[in-house]
A and B are shown apart, each in its own frame.
Chain A
């Protein structure tokens, strides 16, 4: 990026972010930012606080210190609801409903990106033909793909992905990488947590490594 370009505020930036549970510091204070078109890879061992960090950024948990801003503005709940999509461990899918019904409902809940339809999204993630299958009958990997389809349909520019490669085969891992690439090309940004760098998407990436109560940005 040339220095003469007008500077846009980073899509996500955190200053002095810290979180403690039961008096034990989980992470922090952290300073980092993610620009549009970038991915941030959060690495750390189990228990280093990666999931907690993502949940704090998503707005599900309250940070003990520090502030988060999205696109230069302080992150309020309403701003987050429009700008951030969170994909966590739990699939947020109703097992008694079919795949397509779940997607329709989630689009109704979060909004839908212009020009994208649930049917398309299912084809993109490799679940074409499973529209009328009950989610209960899908495998863990298929549910993960359905969650990815939901992500694809969301209108938010910032993706928070917690262990997106879990439950996926090689094909699925490639799918995640392709989706992240496409999303970043469209001007979005993504934060991913992962155990190791083996499945990192081939895009411009920053790294954030969380150790126990110590962080390097």
Chain B
């Protein structure tokens, strides 16, 4: 039963636009900073993190809007399946279509930005932990605004305070590794945040959707 959910969402024919956007950002950054390998190397991790974050932000508006517009969200509310589970599946698909391709592309992008090789594992780890966290928190924000029109900027404004700490820890862990400091602390914090969000975010988003449709 739940499998149907996943299969169907996957076949929706939605664009990979957010991932492409992030790709674009990274490439443009590389071009803009010119060929100075040193300068690029310093900011590489941060740029990659930023690109992923912005791409996720872009996609947030559409997370629930399609379902809200065609009445599917109402039926979700009325179904015997727990709403928080549906939210979790939806968020997972969102993450899989926006962040996962970027995660896969990171090694290549890192090369493009001349990221020092020893930082790559830390970068990947931080992204692997941080991007689901971004998606989960983003889902709560998207759920809060699902009833509103022209909520694009509102989503960004609401999500940013939540996103900034993750960005700091994520990009910071890589920077720490670059300076020879132990990144494990920051990564553990991200991991803990992720576990917490996995439990709480769907519940919060489900509550927000109920309120938004009231």
Between-chain CB contacts (< 8 Å), 28 pairs: A59-B77, A60-B77, A60-B213, A61-B214, A80-B78, A88-B71, A90-B69, A90-B71, A90-B74, A91-B70, A92-B70, A93-B71, A93-B72, A94-B8, A94-B12, A94-B72, A96-B13, A97-B8, A97-B12, A101-B8, A104-B4, A104-B8, A105-B8, A108-B4, A109-B79, A110-B75, A110-B79, A110-B80
A15, B71: Cα distance in complex, Å: 28
Interface: B5 (CB within 8 A): yes
User: Contact partner of A92 among B4, B13, B74, CB < 8 A?
Assistant: B74
Instruction: Point out residues on B near A: beta carbons under 8 Å.
Output: 1-2, 4-5, 8, 11-14, 66, 69-72, 74-81, 213-214
A108, B13: Cα distance in complex, Å: 21
By a CB distance below 8 angstroms, the chain B residues around A82 are: 80
Name the residue on B nearest A112 (C-beta): B1
Instruction: Return the CB mask of A64-108 against B: 1 if under 8 Å, else 0.
Output: 000000000000001011101110111111111100010011101
By a CB distance below 8 angstroms, the chain A residues around B69 are: 90
Query: Given known contacts A91-B70, A92-B70, what 11 new A-B pairs fall within 8 Å (CB)?
Result: A60-B78, A80-B78, A86-B74, A86-B75, A92-B75, A93-B70, A96-B14, A105-B5, A108-B1, A109-B79, A110-B78
Name the residue on B nearest A111 (C-beta): B80
Q: Is the CB of A92 within 8 A of B71?
A: yes
Name the residue on B nearest A78 (C-beta): B80
Name the residue on A nearest B12 (C-beta): A96
Q: Is the CB of B71 within 8 A of A91?
A: yes
CB distance from A68 to the nearest CB of B (A): 14
Interface: A58 (CB within 8 A): yes
Instruction: Return the CB mask of A23-48 against B: 1 if under 8 Å, else 0.
Output: 00000000000000000000000000
CB distance from A26 to the nearest CB of B (A): 13
A77, B55: Cα distance in complex, Å: 36
Instruction: Point out residues on A near B: beta carbons under 8 Å.
Output: 58-62, 78, 80-82, 84-86, 88-97, 101, 104-106, 108-111
CB distance from A4 to the nearest CB of B (A): 37
Q: Is the CB of B12 within 8 A of A62?
A: no
Given A90-B71, A94-B72, A59 and B78 contact (CB-CB distance below 8 Å): yes
CB distance from B28 to the nearest CB of A (A): 31
By a CB distance below 8 angstroms, the chain B residues around A92 are: 70-72, 74-75
Q: Is the CB of A106 within 8 A of B75?
A: yes
By a CB distance below 8 angstroms, the chain B residues around A91 are: 70-71
Name the residue on B nearest A82 (C-beta): B80
By a CB distance below 8 angstroms, the chain B residues around A95 are: 70
CB distance from B13 to the nearest CB of A (A): 5
By a CB distance below 8 angstroms, the chain B residues around A89 are: 71
By a CB distance below 8 angstroms, the chain A residues around B78 are: 58-60, 80-81, 84-86, 110
A110, B213: Cα distance in complex, Å: 19
